[in-house]
Amino acid sequence: MRMSAGVEWGLHCCLTLAWLGDAEAVSTAKLAVWFDLPPAYLNKQLQALNRAGILTSTPGPRGGFRLARGPERITLMDVVAAVDGPDDLFQCTEIRQRGAGAETPAREFQQPCGIAGAMLRAELAWRRELAAQTLADMMAAAPPSAAERARRHYARIVG
Cα dihedral 141/142/143/145 (nearest 10) = -130
This prediction has a pTM of 0.85
| pLDDT tens profile 112-124 | 788 888 989 999 9
Separation CA 39–CA 116 (nearest Å): 39
Sequence spans of domains, the chain: 5-158
Q: What is the pLDDT of residues 29-49, one digit of tens each?
A: 999 999 999 999 999 999 999
Across the range 134-159, mean pLDDT stands at 89
Q: From 3.40.50.11540, 1.10.10.10, 1.20.140.10, 1.20.58.220, which CATH number describes the 5-158 domain?
A: 1.10.10.10
